[in-house]
Amino acid sequence: MYFCFVGDSKTIWWLAGWFPSSLDTQAGNFIGRHAEAFAENQRAAPADFQFTVFHFPVYRWGKDIKPKNIVTIPHVEIRCRPIAQLPWRGWLIRGINYFYYRWVAMRELKATLLLQGVPDVVHVHSADKIARLIPPLYEVFRKEGKGAVPLWYTEHWAIFNEVVSDGFGKRGSIFRRDYFRLWEKVTVSAPVSLASQQSMQSYLGGAKPFVLFRNVVDTNVFRPKVADVPEDSAEKANLPFAFLHVSSLEPRKNVMGMLRAFATLKQQHPDWRMQFRIVGGNNELYLSQARTAALGLGLLHIFQPSVAFFGPRDANDVAFQMQCADVFVLFSDMENAPCVISEAHCCGLPVISSSVAGVPEMIHESNGLLVPATNEIALTLAMEQAYLNHQQWSREKIAQEAAAKYNPSAVAAVLNRSYQNLIEPCVE
């Protein structure tokens, strides 16, 4: 006996709190990769299933252009329903926005239910506003005679802590209530890291069955570079040692701390040829703040800058930067299981990172170094160690190990088996 979807059409709904749209092309792109990987896994079966991804991008009424869906995935129906929100402050406005969001989203879900029937699987990704939809949605299922639809929950958001400014314990009572109600309905938790599961259980109360559902990496893009310059060649020796950072540059990424640690390293070893490359920064304010900090630290000398800002880049450009760098650096105050670490590893790039949340599950002595969060002295020492001993890391081995864990087929197969365990078995 084995579990399958073949010959027994199954309806799968993903409710994505984050997903790319014309308003924010990078929001929840990792959920899009998950969806594409799972759809490809099912096509390989082959399977008879209806796979629908819902996302409800919010925009400020009168200030933002109404967003549109920008993602297409073969054999996946993407139902994008933009929801306007009043841009003003105040409890009354927040209440109106809350109930209007729920009303519009539930209309979309009910309309789809009329076409497809009650789904066999519901999977919530990044609950955020989605959590408020679960109680009324399951009430609709109950009225349709299928109130026990299994619910999976994957949280990509690093809010289950008190370190970040928007930590769960600092949120309003209604926000927390919605998450508690969601957690009550969860059948299987599908965290991207074990640390995420532990923190969710500690905040939301009560253990849940779980399956580790790692982030997906497009290993056709993030892969080792074909060596065009031998490592021991004179040309390679003349290139500066390149530290690389890729992120949104938002405050919790602690870009300022990285720049100060790098400036200290430069002061201690003025004869070392090093460069810190920073990619990202859709928010012009964060990018401007980082440039100002680098200038103040003397890292943007007009003739020989030791910090280079590349701004936002697409996946191919990010992969190229990772292939050309020597060490990746992440110094966040808090993370979950950062996609950039798995992407860097798939390129064979060792990683120095702060030891927070799920990061220690991703980094060991064979693929990088861990430092305490906010400890700039420790970061400087780790960067010094990486410069002196970077040849201890096998980029080929790092890439092979990472690709085996994060490639789309491997990740999707885990989720597929988890779904199958709670769906009617069929006999070959």
Give DSSP secondary structure letters for 354-379. E--TTGGGT--TTTEEEE-TT-HHHH
Of residues 168 and 164, the one with the higher pLDDT is: 168
* Whole-angstrom distance, CA of residue 116 vs CA of residue 374: 50
Please report, rounded to a whole number, the percentage of residues in the chain having pLDDT higher than 70.
Answer: 92
At 403, list the tokens.
């690709």
Res. 312: pLDDT tops 50: yes
- In the chain the first and final C-alpha atoms are separated, in Å, by 7
Q: Which domains does the chain have, with CATH numbers?
A: 2-216+407-426 (3.40.50.2000), 234-405 (3.40.50.2000)
pLDDT band at 359; cut points 50, 70, 90: very high
pLDDT at 103 exceeding the cut of 90: yes
Q: Please provide the DSSP assignment of 94-153 as one string.
A: HHHHHHHHHHHHHHHHHHHHHHH-S-SEEEEES-GGGGGGHHHHHHHHHHTT-TT--EEE
pTM higher than 0.85, yes or no? Answer: yes
pLDDT of residue 234: 47
Q: How confident is the model at residue 262 (pLDDT cuts 50, 70, 90)?
A: very high
Confidence of residue 303 (pLDDT cuts 50, 70, 90): low
Question: What's the pLDDT tens digit per position in 394-405?
Answer: 999 999 999 999
Could you tell me if residue 65 is left (phi over 0), alpha (psi between -120 and 50 degrees) or otherwise beta? Answer: beta
Per-residue model confidence as pLDDT tens digits over 182-210: 999 999 999 988 988 999 999 998 889 99
Rounded to the nearest integer, the mean pLDDT of the chain is 89
Which pLDDT score, from 0 to 100, does residue 426 have? 41
pLDDT score of 47? 57
Structure tokens at 19: 């997903």
Residue 1's pLDDT band (boundaries 50, 70, 90)?
very low
Residue range 403-420, pLDDT digits in tens: 999 999 999 999 888 888
Give the lowest-confidence range in 32-36, 305-309, 341-345: 305-309
Q: Where is pLDDT greater, at 239 or 82?
A: 82
Tens-digit pLDDT profile for residues 226-239? 765 555 554 556 68
Residue 333 contacts residue 374 (beta carbons within 8 Å): yes
